[in-house]
Structure 1
Amino acid sequence: MILESFNAGRTNSSLPSKLPSKQDNTDQPPQEPQVPKERPAKLSRFTTTNIALPSHADSRGLVPGGVVLSWIDLAAGTSAKRHAVYPCVTRSVDAVHFMHPIRVGDLIIIVSSVNKSWNTSMEVGVRVETEHPITGKRKYCCQAYLTFVALSPGNSRIPVATRSPSSPVTVPRIIPNTAIETHRKELAEKRRQSRISHSKEAQIERDKLTKIREVMREWAGYMNMETMSNAEIPPLLQEPEAYEERDGNSDNDPAKLFLHRRRSTLQGVFPAQPDERLVSESFAETADIILPQHANTLQITFGGHIIELMEQCALVSAYKHSRRYLLLASIDSLQFIRPTYVGDCVTVRSIVSCTFHSSLEIYVSVEAENLLTGERFFTNDGFFTMVAVDFQNLPTPVPHIKPDQSQVVELFESAKARRNRRLLQRKEIIQKELSTHPEEFEQFVSKQESP
């Protein structure tokens, strides 16, 4: 009787007789977001403050430039998404110069905003400053200009292996409300015209580097076929008979020898290095699987994550050549030719292309493989500049680089022109910051001009 009353109550209730199935929800097309035709520039402004933790830094307590660039890309992507509403991907990154290192404990203030938008692309400007947590003094670290493209989500339920590329969508026009925003919009247009004029030159240079990338693939194959190792065996792993105590003397105790060796590493003096090294000796390769946390809602990899992988590989090459501590000074402009997705295997290769007194130029190439289809493709490449420093973070000389392949000679000979371009860009940044923040750059410029 009670069961019959319960069933009757269910029949007369306002609940639907049939709940929607999971299949019914998947058949409904995604709703298109409402995007206005124009938006004020201030709505895209994004500010974030981080604390440099030990997990972000290297063994000396300095935050690597690749980590900073990944933060820059995330902040710029947030501004682009705020303005465009649609998901956005990094198309290119202009040259970035690092003026001040970030140490553990520093507060990192990152400010980004959209400077100007065109049909489907936007330029986002990012400024990074550090603040001492005790004194409150701020220092300028770097600035960056990134180009983003807005994409329609499409059908995100299709597997990555068979997914068609997302199509670009029109983004709102920028409305500047202040004199500074108007000035940024004008400069953004000039930078865009400069990118367009240099795009053909960049493509020609990229084609020239095809042979170098082929040589790097060959070196990777040789490295993967090696089975012998010249790694030194630590005392604790050697035969115990070699450390038998004689006449009650415990100096040969393996534990004491091992600990003594650990305490006496370097002690403030770098080991001697040869006058020159071959380019092939600096070759390095690393691989990484793109995970969901490395990508956006379209499963396209963050550009900042790719740059971070490139910097890590570049550091390995620079360490192999210099055997010194290293600081990232700058990266040249980067263009992402083809995106990578979640599940792809990204392979990064690098070599030291040229050296100067204390700086090294490293060429880095990135390739990816779709592990479902087996397709391999080139994604992007670029040049990183690093400075070798001593225990007090002062510049120290590095061995000269010697090309040992004909394909590398042209890359070596053209390095001086690239260096002159970087120095000019760095000088322009210093002059600009000196005019707007003279007290901040007074000490920095005096150091640069001192003999």
Structure 2
Amino acid sequence: MSPCSSQGPRSFEPGTSASQGFSSVFLSRQSRKSTSHAEDKESTMSDSEGYRNPTEVQMSQLVLPCHTNQRGELSGGQLLKWIDTTACLSAERHAGCPCVTASMDDIYFEHTISVGQVVNIKAKVNRAFNSSMEVGIQVASEDLCSEKHWSVCKALATFVAQRDLSKVKLKQITPQTEEEKTEHGVAAERRRMRLVYADTIKDLLANCVIQDDLESRDCSHMVPAEKTRVESVELVLPPHANHQGNTFGGQIMAWMENVATIAASRLCHAHPTLKAIEMFQFRGPSQVGDRLVLKAIVNNAFKHSMEVGVSVEAYRQEAETHRRHINSAFMTFVVLDSNDQPQLLPWIQPQPGDGERRYREASARRKIRLDRQYIVSYKQAELALSVSWDPSNQVYLSYNNVSCLKMLVAKDNWVLSSEVNQVRLYTLEDDKYLSFHLEMLVHVDAAHAFLLLSDLRRRPEWDKHYRSVELVQQVDEDDAIYHVISPPLSGDPKPQDFVILASRRKPCDNGDPYVVALRSVMLPTHPETPEYRRGETLCSGFCFWRQGDQMTKVSYYNQATSSFLNYVTTNVAGLSSEFYNTFKACEQFLLSNRNDLAPSLQTL
């Protein structure tokens, strides 16, 4: 029942021994007729040929000279307009009414697109909440002559449905395919990050210490930031607006990219290329007749990249002094040479006061952006099992922790390996990972089970593989870090220890489970010691689904790398028996404590 690490027998987390490890699951799965977990459910539309998501919208655009910049490449602003239009059409297909752009998540551009090539954009609604929905967008380019295809970027946009200027209650999305189920589950976690985005960035910037050598640089070789400042005004005309008279979000983003490009050009005296955009968040609408004032300035320049800050304010002709803040964003540019390699950039000399603040905040944002890219936008096989935890990556490690578990839950090729007294054991083998999943029904309220099992300090009461648990740090209401000691593995005299981040989540909507996700992290206060054999947990945790009044389906998941197959033995009955006994002990623990109502239960 403990999370597992991935390096040989020592890698089993508080749980099973090497001889009683994955061997019995693997061998028993081969020795009995496999029964797919999916057979317990009705067949879905994804099983039929030609299934297409009903909210999916595709757009293909031929890149003409009028769409390109001085380098003959598709301008970032034009691409943003196409992305926003496609996503809006998808949102409106689901909502059945007009929709407006609320935000656009970070976008990283992998390739440029040249004149004569085709841009293919695909958008579909991942999940609908109350009046908002997340739309996933994929952008690829196509060379018609060579038939080559490239991935350009992926984007996530949030749209709000409106009818007669009032918000609309949206119908829920029913995911069909494994991919749709994954996106549907993770969308709730991404929404959680968006809602706290501003506060998260503010806290991280306040606590992020960045070392720079600003004082030691030769000012004679620096470009004053004020020389890059740009201010421009745009009049919103009917072609810039949607059917409600609100300015298209994509049009505003395109204007923002335009002034940001001018600011970047004033620093490098060359034609810059847009590489990344930090989240666009629309703080209010603008309408036909509004004047939009766009301001941009280079906040900081690094070795091969620069950050440009852009803001948008709106006002009416009759009230010019009353300006409304519409949007802000930070864009990263590079200057590419003839071989598409980034060139060195001049240093920026910030103005005293606000200029120095923007300069240092840009350095902090760059660190945060790199951390976020590494943790959130990673390929799982390339991410170390234990990532260093610190306040600057706290939010993204928590997101990664919960998202990985939800992606594991969404897999549709689980195989039933054994069933004893209504406790089911499933296994899943794919690529580099071997996973297992246990489930049972318990006569306990889901919120109470969630509360009891999310506190790892109580785990030794029912799981013998947890010898002791120390709460190292209560990060916030939903995240805590524990130091776990487990008994030695078979043939190893040393006990194991684990440093585990536990992230818990309440349901976002009816039908969602309560979630407790576990993964290993590294803390400088708890390094490896000769006393213990350090174990690691890749992805594990619990999900709790309400099955009626005082009835809960409790599911436990655990993922490990396929290196465990090297330790398969002939012990066919070991793992099933071990897991069954531990899971039944968990059931008894829940039943014995179901009337022990903790005060915090009242808040769930």
* Residue number in structure 2 paired with 1:89: 100
Give the drift of 1:325: 2.2
* Residue number in structure 1 paired with 2:419: none
CA distance in 1, matches of 2:316, 2:200: 29
Give the drift of 1:433: 11
Give the drift of 1:274: 6.5
Q: Does 1:291 align with 2:264?
A: no
Give the drift of 1:105: 1.0
CA distance in 2, matches of 1:290, 1:205: 36
* Residue number in structure 2 paired with 1:371: 317
Q: Does 1:323 align with 2:269?
A: yes
* Residue number in structure 2 paired with 1:302: 248
* Residue number in structure 1 paired with 2:362: 415
* Residue number in structure 1 paired with 2:116: 105
Match of 1:332 among 274, 278, 289: 278
Q: Which moved more, 1:127-136 or 1:426-435?
A: 426-435
Give the drift of 1:423: 2.6
* Residue number in structure 2 paired with 1:213: none
1:227-275 CA-partner distances (Å, limit 9, x unpaired): xxxxxxxxxxxxxxxxxxxxxxxxxxxxxxxxxxxxxxxxxxxxxx972
CA distance in 2, matches of 1:274, 1:61: 34
Structure 1 unaligned spans of 5+: 1-39, 155-165, 208-272, 436-451
Q: Does 1:384 align with 2:395?
A: no
> Structure 1 residues 433, 94: closer, same or farther in 2, change over 3 A?
farther
Q: Is the 8 A contact 1:324 1:389 kept in 2?
A: no
1:387 partner amino acid:
V
CA distance in 2, matches of 1:384, 1:369: 24
> Structure 1 residues 274, 125: closer, same or farther in 2, change over 3 A?
farther
Give the drift of 1:198: 2.4
CA distance in 2, matches of 1:402, 1:288: 29
Give the drift of 1:194: 1.3
Give the drift of 1:390: 2.7
2:150 partner amino acid:
K
SS at structure 1 position matched to 2:84: helix
Q: Does 1:43 align with 2:54?
A: yes
Q: Does 1:128 align with 2:127?
A: no
Q: Is the 8 A contact 1:326 1:387 kept in 2?
A: yes
1:66 partner amino acid:
G
SS at structure 2 position matched to 1:390: coil
Give the drift of 1:183: 0.8
CA distance in 1, matches of 2:150, 2:263: 30
Q: Is the 8 A contact 1:79 1:113 kept in 2?
A: yes
Q: Is the 8 A contact 1:130 1:140 kept in 2?
A: yes
Q: Is the 8 A contact 2:238 2:245 kept in 1?
A: yes
Match of 1:74 among 85, 96, 105: 85
Q: Is the 8 A contact 2:205 2:361 kept in 1?
A: no
2:257 partner amino acid:
E
> Structure 1 residues 289, 203: closer, same or farther in 2, change over 3 A?
farther
SS at structure 2 position matched to 1:361: strand
1:77-134 CA-partner distances (Å, limit 9, x unpaired): 0000000011000001100000010111111110000000001000000000011101
Higher helix residue share: 1
CA distance in 1, matches of 2:129, 2:95: 11
* Residue number in structure 2 paired with 1:118: 129
1:71 partner amino acid:
W
* Residue number in structure 2 paired with 1:176: 175
Give the drift of 1:408: 1.7
* Residue number in structure 1 paired with 2:544: none
Give the drift of 1:206: 11
* Residue number in structure 2 paired with 1:151: 162
SS at structure 2 position matched to 1:321: helix
| Equivalent pairs, count | 320
Give the drift of 1:205: 9.4
Q: Is the 8 A contact 2:70 2:271 kept in 1?
A: no
2:83 partner amino acid:
I
Structure 2 unaligned spans of 5+: 1-50, 207-218, 384-604
TM-score by length of structure 1 reads: 0.67
Give the drift of 1:357: 0.7
* Residue number in structure 2 paired with 1:345: 291
Give the drift of 1:417: 2.2
Q: Is the 8 A contact 1:324 1:390 kept in 2?
A: no
* Residue number in structure 1 paired with 2:486: none
Q: Is the 8 A contact 2:291 2:314 kept in 1?
A: yes
Match of 1:431 among 379, 394, 401: 379
Match of 1:52 among 63, 78, 86: 63
Q: Is the 8 A contact 1:41 1:113 kept in 2?
A: no
SS at structure 1 position matched to 2:176: coil
* Residue number in structure 2 paired with 1:185: 184
TM-score by length of structure 2 reads: 0.50
Give the drift of 1:204: 7.7
* Residue number in structure 1 paired with 2:590: none
* Residue number in structure 2 paired with 1:239: none
Kindly report which structure 2 residues correspond to 1:120-269, keeping only aligned pairs within 5 A, or say none: 120-152=131-163, 154=164, 166-201=165-200
Give the drift of 1:201: 3.5
2:247 partner amino acid:
T
Higher strand residue share: 2
CA distance in 1, matches of 2:182, 2:299: 38
2:253 partner amino acid:
I
SS at structure 2 position matched to 1:339: coil
Give the drift of 1:358: 1.8
SS at structure 2 position matched to 1:175: coil
SS at structure 2 position matched to 1:74: helix
> Structure 1 residues 167, 41: closer, same or farther in 2, change over 3 A?
farther
Q: Is the 8 A contact 1:337 1:378 kept in 2?
A: yes
